[in-house]
Structure 1
Amino acid sequence: MSVKITELAARFVEEITSAMNRLEDPEEILDTLLSDCIEATEADSGSIMLLDSTGEYLEARAVRGLNIIGGKLRLRMGEGVTGWVAREGKSRLVSNASEESDYIRLKEDLQSELAVPMVARGELIGVLSVDALRAGAFTQEDADFLNIMANLAAQIFARLEDNRLLKVRDRFHRVMMEISRVVSHSLRLDEVFREIMTITEKAFRLHRSTLFLYNREEDALKIAASSGIDEREALSIKYAPGEGVTGGVFNSKKAIFIPSARNEPGFLNRMKTVPESGDMGYFCCPIFSGTEVVGVFSTFTHPQTGIDPDSVLEFLEILGSIISQAITIQRLVQ
């Protein structure tokens, strides 16, 4: 299972970032995502539906292999399998459509469906679903893969819509291509994190990146992986939920960027990274497993040349999503 998931994940990251480098329209990114997911799961059709502005309806934004009457598909939250997934925030695997009372048949001969939520910043933005003509077409492994890819794509799509990432697209694309190769050849979280941050720190002038995971037994955030921090030093650094900037981000489930760490009252500087005579920016974002916060990713930033801070923040939030998916992969392997 682990080999298939990592190979598919690496291929997807490479293809979706290549598409980002070619395409201006976020809708075309969704089309690319859907086509890749249909192929990877050997499905016959599929759709991506996003929440409308009211948050009460799902509207089809990408469709493959389905005959939609009138050219549009719209479902109320909770309606059908897709609406159920949106309401519950959980994936759903249908092996025999005739046995599901809430199944909405968009094509007469469809027998199976697999639908997964698309989550960005801890909030549902839509549902990705694939269908097949044969019964029992999809497995839990397919569901695991689609969950990983749907959440990663949701992060990318949500940020592409405001066009900020287009300003740094070339650099972003280059870094993401390198990261995709890292994901494909290592399953260890600490190795993946260090290699990802080595690549990213050079491209975006970052420093001393850390991944904190929540330890339930100790009720504390502890360093699980880091770049530029001594292992013995890392063992002594931890935060309670709500403590300092790091613990605050864990509780709020929202990313934060502090332009001046030295002048931030809530910044505790436990890693002694910011000297009294100098200053750096500090980025911190929650790490999700589905809608649950499981940790925090943080990094220090030097002043950027030719890139506005908002663009860097958008990129780092996507990087946090990639790290989230690496954690999900590791848990599946274990």
Structure 2
Amino acid sequence: LLKSQFGFYHVAIFLADGNIKELHLREVATDEPIDLINMQYKLPIDNHSIAGWVALHCEPRVVNDIHNDAAYKEEPFLPNTQSEMALPLVARGEMLGVLDVQGNRPNQFVKDDISILQIIANQIAINIDNAHLFAQTEFRLNEARILYEYNSLLSSTLDVGELYRRAARALTTWLNGSRCTIFSWESEEEAATTQVDFIYDLTSGIIDQYSLDLPTLRLEDHHDMRAVLTSGQPKVWLPEDVSLNEENPSQLESSPQLSYLDVPLVRNVTTLGLIRVFRHATQAPFSDAEIQLAQAMANETAVALANATLTSETQARVAQLSSLNRLSQALSEAPNLEQVYKSTRREILSLVEATGLAILLLSEDKNHLNWLYLYDYGEEIDLSNLPPQALGSGFSGHVVRTRTTLHLQATPENQEKYKSFQVGASEDFHEFWLGIPLIVTNQLIGVLSLQNLNPFSERDIELLTTIAGALAIAINNLLQLEATQAALAVQFEQRLQMQTAAEVAAATTSILDLNSLVQRAVDLIKERFELYYVGLYLVENDYAVLKAGTGEAGKAQLAAKRQLKVGGESLIGGATGDGKPRIRQDVQAAKGPKWLPNPHLPDTQSELALPLRVHGTTTGALTVQSSTPNLFSEDFIGALQIMGDQLAVAIQNAQFLARAEARTQRQTYLNEISAKLHQSANVETIVEIGLQALSQQLAGTAVELQLGRQKQTS
């Protein structure tokens, strides 16, 4: 419009860049056939061009003869320029640009033209400023919309992984990037971990794709990243930046990425990580407004991540407390150690990732660790072939010796260092191993150990240490309970033995008949001690003759008149031979005295033969048999021996009584016969009485009496 109205040769509008360092051509009308807009024509703001001088000094400059002005810059594409006038575009005290007018003849600009053009320049400046204000307002509204939508997008999930994915996609879209990578960072660590890498690059054909390669970067190799993380300020990196690492410029130059923007994830004063947004070579560099928007989005991301992490940690803590509560209840209700181990394994593996779990208990002599439970890759391991572990070797031995937690990788070097060995199905010697001492009231009782392909976190170790404390208390309580129950069982067994001995003693004193006495005694012993078979033998001449036996087997043997050679190879024969007890705790084992099987007693697994002694004389033996091997303890044998001695005395007393009664009966019978003989004077009657008495004593045998004198022969 200005060109046509005033007949000028060339009219151009320049706008200053954000740093007021250069003038960029925005609009032009010229007689020359050249496209200066696409050439991205620009001038430095300095004294070497008329437009640059006006922008630098914010004053108009009119040159009616270019040959007489030192500031004039000759342009080859404007060969007909003879005069030039430049007017500053100023609004609200800010220099926005320059209106440059050129004529093709000298002295083309008159005073009135200058006044009119200045008014027009002022109007142009006002319109440009209004357009800037409108653009800024529109940008802020768009920024507010983007931030609102971004906040809504992030606040609709509390999953940390999903947050990273949503943030990377949204940042790539709204910042017009071709790629977005988000890193997490712990201030005490010298590494940044890639959490998500989203690519949306139309030029390479990779659209809407998440990379699966998420490396951890060492900050000592990435100074650009370290600078942003430590300063907390965003930074745009270009290939020509000399502060980049040696490798990064080459990566940018060899790839279609022109630049990238690093924005720290800052919450309050804590830097949580970094967002890196790339732009393609065909895209413009990041503007200040875009950097500001990226920082605002990064702040929203940091808050969302912190909230999600806190929520996740809270939920995890609630889950942990719930599991600990379940574990505590399960441990308190567990009836035995096996249930304790399984409950512990179930709860631990629901909280912590692990491939194996073991529980070892310190032996009573405190020189070894005994394997109590081993779970490896989904199955319980048979511990019957595992020997106790010496405290001087192995990872667990180190835990016991130092009373401290040990966490390391089971590399061959560490295996050799700690003299460790492999247990379980895994052949991976590079698993991570964690051992925690089990301590109760400052007394170490064992070790809880776990294995996994990945290292255990500090939170895992803290949680497992808490569980180990509860486990140690539960194991110790059950061990004490088992010891108490064992002591009570011993007391009960002793009381039962004393009670049985008293009953046997009572029976022996109340029963005078020998056969009834011995049968009652064996029945009582079998019943009270829940034995398989009890039999009683008495020595008669060179044999031990069975006098009483329990059950059908006893009846069958009595009917068969079972007897064993005194001093023979049987247990009864040996016991009656030398008066010493014989025992086979396991009749199937090779060790022990010779044992002869009894076809009437096929289920016998252990047998004890106790001699019946009176005043140093062995009068018989008691056989006690069980269908359970290794039944006879020292206390049990002692109680049976006491009962055997009492029984021997009772048997002897019964025998004495029986003999005394027999003598008394014979004497009474003799007295009766003598009285009858003295009351008769008839010889035949006397003879008859005598013969009947003799026949009766001889069990009815016929008896004859011959009277007379034998004839003598010479």
| The two structures share one fold, judged by TM-score above 0.5 | no
Q: Which structure would you say has the larger Rg?
A: 2
Tell me the TM-score range normalised by the shorter chain.
Answer: 0.3 to 0.5
Using structure 1 for the length normalisation, give the TM-score. Answer: 0.44
